């Protein structure tokens, strides 16, 4: 997970401060020295680190912090606020053209994740009931056009292409024409990258920019490349006047330096972050939530949003009814498990829970394999068995274990867990009934 090292170190520095009833100027200075080292080790640009530390120090050593009733907490608050500010303060939303279509030009080096991010962004826009058109103007990277077409098809987003023989300027122009004619409200142009920043690429991009007149020029950079990503952003910004950055591969074990430096160095806000290879792994970037996550203060808002996206409200209502009447079946159990898993890897979700700090998380190994086994076992049952698990005798259990590639013990264990869950639901239901009675509900 990104930021793991930084997060762990900042949290231990912060918890030392928090625990103190009285914080002296020397304590703050010592903490700042440690934070400085932690940031440098996380590959944050050294100038950025210096400015950050100076700002925090100035505020934290102020009388109102040290003389307050909870000085430790106040210092943590200052660090959190300054970390948020460093990453851009507030969420920076996409521009919308006053006269559609809104034109978004995607730029970046090869391999940064430009094509993937274009498709992910198109998906995000479709989910907001927009009608995006993807324009395949990366004519150099072998298979980039095909890749975009395949992604577009999976996501139900139209991809416009003229093959790899036309020049990108012409492709962009024709794509925008099509969007205007056919009432697409957003055009996403996937341009060609190179292995390094070079003049030919910039010339070509300037050509596309001239005809496309984009509302947004988004640079896609790879978080795993650390300070290199920041240097790339600086060069692109100088040449192209970027409007924002998409930082990809934040799901990997990047030390996080790029995320913390790019806004301060280029003054370009991070608008989205890529959190995985799948099409739904692109999130709007919220500096405040990211700062809280890094400091182990959780990110409940993102967790709720993920749940809202993954959970089917109708199904949830149905489930609640069944829980009350104690008619829960293994089918419901499986459904529930699958909905939770749609929210993403459990470890990522745990990191969003306040108090679940990096150190504690190290001791929790979420056994995704065990979840796979549970799914396989339930899927190997007949519908009748799922609704009536009490008929599962020894021979049925053997058959299910064979069919799911598990053991009879695994099947037994799952059934036992399910029975226990039903039992606790029964208790809960009767508790709820009693409370309602006491409160005079009908
Ligand atoms: P392009 O050359 O910039 O168009 O790069 P691609 O879109 O083809 O992406 C390069 C590789 O990075 C592909 O294998 C993608 O699946 C992968 N990738 C892109 N974004 C992410 C991300 O956020 N997380 C992870 N783990 N992989 C990503």
Question: What pLDDT digit, counting tens, does each position of 75-86 carry?
Answer: 888 999 999 999
Q: 111: CA distance to ligand 1 center in Å? A: 6
Tell me, yes or no, whether 303 lies in a domain. no
Instruction: Based on the fold, state whether residues 230 and 193 are members of the same structural domain.
Output: yes
Which residue in the block uniquely carries the two structure tokens 């459904």? 335
Which residue has a Cα nearest atom 26 of ligand 1?
Answer: 276
Tell me, yes or no, whether 251 lies in a domain. yes
Tell me, yes or no, whether 219 lies in a domain. yes
Whole-complex ipTM? 0.99
- The domain boundary residue, chosen from 86, 112, 132: 86
Residue closest to 161 by CA, chosen among 184, 190, 181:
190
Residue closest to 185 by CA, chosen among 258, 104, 92:
104
Q: 115: CA distance to ligand 1 center in Å? A: 7
Binding residues for GTP: 108-115, 190-194, 248-251
Instruction: Based on the fold, state whether residues 144 and 225 are members of the same structural domain.
Output: yes
Which residue has a Cα nearest atom 13 of ligand 1?
Answer: 113
By the 8 A CB rule, do 270 and 305 touch? no
Distance of CA 293 to the CA centre of its chain: 12
Atom of ligand 1 nearest to the CA of 144: 4
The pTM of this model reads 0.75
Residue closest to 273 by CA, chosen among 222, 236, 234:
222
By the 8 A CB rule, do 104 and 121 touch? yes
Instruction: Based on the fold, state whether residues 135 and 280 are members of the same structural domain.
Output: yes
Instruction: Based on the fold, state whether residues 174 and 282 are members of the same structural domain.
Output: yes
Which residue in the block uniquely carries the two structure tokens 């806000």? 269
Q: Is 46 helix (H, G, I), strand (E, B) or coil?
A: helix
Residue closest to 364 by CA, chosen among 1, 38, 6, 18:
1
Instruction: Based on the fold, state whether residues 33 and 137 are members of the same structural domain.
Output: no
Q: Which residues of 111-145 are buried (b: 16+ CB within 10 A; e: fewer)?
A: ebbbbbbbbbbbbbbeeeebbbbbbbbbbebeebb
What is the per-residue pLDDT for 237?
95
Tell me, yes or no, whether 406 lies in a domain. yes
Binding residues: 108-115, 190-194, 248-251
110 in contact with ligand 1, CB cutoff 6 A: yes
| 47 has pLDDT over 70 | yes
Instruction: Based on the fold, state whether residues 251 and 173 are members of the same structural domain.
Output: yes
Tell me, yes or no, whether 97 lies in a domain. no
Q: Is 10 helix (H, G, I), strand (E, B) or coil?
A: helix
For residue 389, what is the domain's CATH number?
Answer: 1.10.260.30
Cα distance between residue 41 and residue 36, in whole Å: 9
By the 8 A CB rule, do 133 and 100 touch? no
Q: How do beta strands 216-222 and 244-248 pair?
A: parallel
Instruction: Based on the fold, state whether residues 161 and 181 are members of the same structural domain.
Output: yes
Question: What pLDDT digit, counting tens, does each position of 198-249 carry?
Answer: 898 999 999 999 999 999 999 999 999 989 999 999 999 999 999 999 999 9
List Cα–Cα distances, 172 to 176, 205, 207, 210, in angstroms: 6, 11, 10, 10
28 in contact with ligand 1, CB cutoff 6 A: no
Q: 251: CA distance to ligand 1 center in Å? A: 11
2 in contact with ligand 1, CB cutoff 6 A: no
Please report the DSSP string for 322-362 in residue order: HHHHT---HHHHHHHHHHHHHT--HHHHHTTSTT--HHHHH
Tell me, yes or no, whether 33 lies in a domain. yes
For residue 79, what is the domain's CATH number?
Answer: 1.20.120.140
Query: Per the structure, how many domains does the chain have?
Result: 3
Share of the chain above pLDDT 90, in %: 55
Instruction: Based on the fold, state whether residues 241 and 344 are members of the same structural domain.
Output: no
- The domain boundary residue, chosen from 57, 86, 115: 86
Cα distance between residue 258 and residue 2, in whole Å: 11
The token pair that represents 75 in the structure block: 């210092």
Please report the DSSP string for 138-159 in residue order: --SSTTHHHHHHHHHHHHT--E
Question: What pLDDT digit, counting tens, does each position of 49-69 carry?
Answer: 999 999 999 998 887 788 777
Instruction: Based on the fold, state whether residues 259 and 338 are members of the same structural domain.
Output: no
Tell me, yes or no, whether 346 lies in a domain. yes
What is the per-residue pLDDT for 441?
45
Cα distance between residue 242 and residue 365, in whole Å: 41
Instruction: Based on the fold, state whether residues 128 and 255 are members of the same structural domain.
Output: yes
Higher-pLDDT residue of 154 and 326 is 154
What is the per-residue pLDDT for 442?
40
Instruction: Based on the fold, state whether residues 376 and 231 are members of the same structural domain.
Output: no
**Which domain covers residue 389, as residue numbers?**
309-438
Which of the four pLDDT bands, split at 50, 70 and 90, describes residue 437? low
Tell me, yes or no, whether 363 lies in a domain. yes
Question: What pLDDT digit, counting tens, does each position of 273-310 carry?
Answer: 999 999 989 999 999 988 988 887 766 666 667 666 66
For residue 279, what is the domain's CATH number?
Answer: 3.40.50.300
Instruction: Based on the fold, state whether residues 35 and 110 are members of the same structural domain.
Output: no
């Amino acid at each position: 997970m990104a930021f793991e090292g930084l997060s762990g170190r900042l949290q231990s520095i912060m918890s030392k401060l928090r625990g103190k009833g009285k914080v002296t100027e020397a304590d703050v200075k010592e903490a700042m020295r440690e934070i400085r080292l932690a940031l440098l080790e996380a590959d944050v640009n050294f100038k950025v680190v210096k400015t950050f530390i100076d700002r925090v120090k100035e505020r934290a050593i102020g009388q109102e912090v040290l003389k307050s009733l909870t000085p430790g907490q106040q210092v943590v608050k200052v660090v959190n606020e300054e970390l948020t500010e460093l990453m851009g303060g507030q969420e920076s939303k996409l521009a919308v053209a006053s006269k559609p279509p809104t034109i978004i030009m995607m730029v970046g080096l090869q391999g940064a994740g430009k094509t993937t991010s274009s498709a992910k962004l198109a998906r995000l826009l479709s989910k907001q009931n927009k009608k995006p058109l993807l324009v395949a103007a990366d004519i150099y990277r072998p298979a980039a056009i095909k890749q975009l077409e395949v992604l577009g098809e999976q996501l139900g987003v139209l991809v416009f292409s003229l093959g790899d023989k036309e020049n990108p300027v012409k492709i962009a122009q024709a794509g925008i024409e099509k969007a205007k004619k056919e009432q697409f409200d957003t055009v996403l142009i996937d341009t060609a990258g190179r292995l390094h920043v070079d003049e030919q690429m910039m010339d070509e991009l300037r050509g596309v920019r001239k005809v496309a007149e984009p509302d947004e020029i988004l640079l896609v950079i790879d978080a795993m490349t650390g300070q290199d990503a920041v240097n790339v952003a600086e060069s692109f910004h100088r040449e192209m006047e970027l409007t924002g950055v998409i930082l990809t591969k934040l799901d990997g074990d990047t030390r996080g330096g790029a995320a913390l430096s790019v806004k301060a160095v280029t003054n370009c806000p991070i608008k989205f972050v890529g959190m995985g290879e799948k099409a739904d792994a692109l999130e709007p970037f919220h500096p405040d939530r990211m700062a809280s996550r890094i400091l182990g203060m959780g990110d409940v808002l993102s967790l709720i949003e993920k749940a809202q996206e993954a959970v089917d409200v109708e199904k949830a209502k149905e489930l609640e009814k069944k829980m009350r009447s104690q008619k829960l079946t293994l089918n419901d159990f499986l459904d529930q498990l699958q909905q939770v898993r749609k929210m993403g890897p459990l470890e990522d979700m745990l990191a969003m829970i306040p108090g679940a700090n990096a150190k504690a998380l190290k001791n929790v190994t979420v056994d995704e394999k065990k979840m796979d086994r549970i799914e396989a076992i339930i899927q190997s049952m007949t519908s009748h068995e799922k609704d009536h698990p009490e008929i599962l005798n020894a021979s049925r259990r053997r058959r299910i274990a064979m069919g799911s590639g598990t053991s009879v013990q695994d099947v037994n264990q799952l059934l036992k867990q399910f029975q226990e869950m039903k039992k606790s639901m029964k208790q809960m239901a009767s508790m709820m009934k009693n409370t309602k009675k006491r409160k005079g509900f009908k």
